[in-house]
Chains A and B, each alone.
Chain A
Amino acid sequence: MKKFLSAMFMTAFVLVMTHAGYGMTINGAGATFPYPVYAQWAHKYQKLKGVKLNYQSIGSGGGIAQIKAKTVDFGASDAPLKAAELEKHGLIQFPMIMGGVVPVVHIKGVGAGKMKLSPNVLAGIFLGKIKKWNDPAIKGLNPGLSLPGKNITVVHRADGSGTTWIYTNYLDKISKEWHDKVGTGKAVSWPAGVGGKGNEGVSAYVQKVDGGIGYVEYAYALQNKLAYVLLQNKAGNFVAPTIKSFQSAAAHADWTHAPGFYMVLTNQPGKNSWPITGASFILIYKVQAKAETARAVLSFFDWAYKHGAKIAMKLDYVPMPKKVVQLVETTWKKTVKDTKGNSLWR
């Protein structure tokens, strides 16, 4: 009886193992911003295909360090790596999911989507040059609002974050003074204001301080009903942050001419594009020592591109447009290979 049972287990085990990738675990680490959606995808995918995804949201910096140390199968970063750096380490990157960064304000009587801001005014506020809400520059853009003579309190992220990277990248692009004085970074030397830890810290400060302005991830602004502003985009229109306006930014971006998918979606053309959009990236090696694992990783992301949109939108993330997905999968075909030089993705 015992023998029979163990034989049965063995057979079952072999059967399971031979089924492509079943029981496998993929390891990834990195950005915290996409963690909720990766976790949901992983949960669903394990139920469907039996492949387990173990994703540690240790931060983009950590993700880059871990993939370079080869302790994980893929890394994730909110800020893309430059083509030269990818080349140096033999990595490729591709955008997986998008989100937007949204300036939010707290002024009595000003609700969500009521205040209009132009790039110059936004930069002026965060540079600490526009100090009062009734400044003529703000009044000029919002003739319909009655603005108080309150001090503006700038609230920024205190912790290093991809959100800050995207936001400062935008300010860097639209303001020469910001570019010269501050620059782009996951943490920067802020000319003005106070810092809150995480999206929740920033939004708590903004909600507590009358006259506060900060920036948070779109999902966070939406779920907490924060008073977001309308921003003037590159085309000159005032747009609201919506899934459509983020996708417009991604669709209008010129991905084909971005080596290594180095594409920052801030200040993109398109009349409906939200100007502070960003993508979160996945990093993998071009030459894969463990072909089986690599195939499982690519299959997972392929599934996520094709079937993960609904889950993503439910969590207020923005799926990549089809055009970009096709481009990514072509890149997989061309560049991801096993040690013998065979393509791992067909």
Chain B
Amino acid sequence: MEVTSSFPGAPSGAPSPPEVIKPVARARKQGDTLFRWITIGSAFVVPLLIIGLFYSLTDLSMPSLRHFGLKFIFSSAWNPVKQHFGALSSIYGTLVSTFIAMILAVPLGLAISLFLVELVPPAIGRVMGSAIELLAAIPSIIYGMWGLFVFAPFMADHVQPFLAGIGGDLPFFKGPPMGIGMLTAGLILALMILPFITSVASDVFRMVPVQLKESAYGMGSTTFEVARKVTVRYGIDGIVGAGFLGLGRALGETMAVTFVIGNSHRISASLFNGANSIASTLANEFTEASEPLYLSALVELGLILLVITIGVQILSQLWLKRMRKKSGRGL
């Protein structure tokens, strides 16, 4: 596939010197100025929105920030009656469910996209590719309902008893197999971010120059070796990017998680038990939170989620930079 770097609409070459400004040219120039301001204005909307979001979230969570201080992050208490709030169980649930989703979806997504790009005839690859992208178009509430009514019973009847059987003394697979809980939420999340990872990773793999791969084959490499040493290495930027795209979605996913995670404000080692995430807590409790401190604590949870998400984005950028330096780009 050829990668074009020039845009058909862009002016090429140096602009002609301004001699006599004809009326038409003036109009065109005014159009340019207008265009310029529109683009500048549009570009500034985003940072302004982020700043505004930060400001209003911080402002609204002030009562809770003042009342609980740093303790908010390290306490797992969540008692609306006595007005004791802490974010630990929600943060823990968000991170653990996302972690489960990532360790499953990233390898699976990479395997699928390698298969689609390297192994399967292009015609079939395209059909399967769009089928996977279709997964991304399913609204999350559908995943949630499917998760609760179809997937959770399956987990309870088959997967969880099996895991409990092989888990032995590990604390992760203890407790009654209810079908819902941290593990189920992680699995549903994995399914939801899989299309993102797969479709971005396939695009990346398609951009690997054919010459490189052909040369590797010519030197007698096996398909696996080409995939590992050429395709994956060449596309490492994109793969990391794909991973973080999925991570971003998993961190903030709300509806599907709320349906299956079990919604309990407790931290437990077993993945079978109910847990909660920041997003699910917000979805559950926002409507009926009438006390000011309660509302403020919920807003602070939202602030924490925003900070986590932005932190992840910054980390991903730094990581990409390092990767680029290390892999030497040229290959």
B-binding residues in A (CB < 8 A): 32, 58-62, 64-65, 151, 153, 158-162, 182-190, 193-197, 201, 204-205, 208-209, 211
Contact = CB atoms under 8 A, between A and B. Distances in A.
Contacts of A65: 290
B290 A61 contact: yes
| Most-contacted residue by chain B among A65, A158, A204, A209 (CB, 10 A) | A158
Contact of B258 (A158, A160, A161): A158
Secondary structure at chain A's binding surface: helix, strand, loop or mixed? loop
Contact of A160 (B178, B276, B284): B284
A187 B178 contact: no
Interface residues of B, number: 34
12 contacts: A61-B290, A65-B290, A159-B285, A160-B285, A183-B82, A187-B289, A189-B82, A194-B262, A195-B262, A195-B274, A201-B259, A208-B178
B263 A209 contact: no
Interface in B155-179: 156, 176, 178-179
B284 A209 contact: no
Contact of B79 (A32, A161, A189): A189
Contacts of A183: 81-82
B263 to A, nearest CB: 3
Contacts of B274: 193-195
A159 B77 contact: no
Among all A-B residue pairs, the 6 with the closest Cβ atoms: A160-B288, A158-B263, A195-B263, A61-B290, A59-B287, A194-B274
B80 A195 contact: no
Interface in B275-323: 276, 280, 283-285, 287-290
B176 A160 contact: no
Nearest to A198: B284
A194 B284 CA distance: 13
A153 B272 CA distance: 13
A32 B153 CA distance: 29
B194 interface: no
Contacts of A187: 80, 284-285, 288-289
B176 A153 contact: yes
B263 A186 contact: no
Contact of A58 (B273, B285, B287): B287
B285 to A, nearest CB: 5
Contacts of B84: 189
A194 B264 CA distance: 5
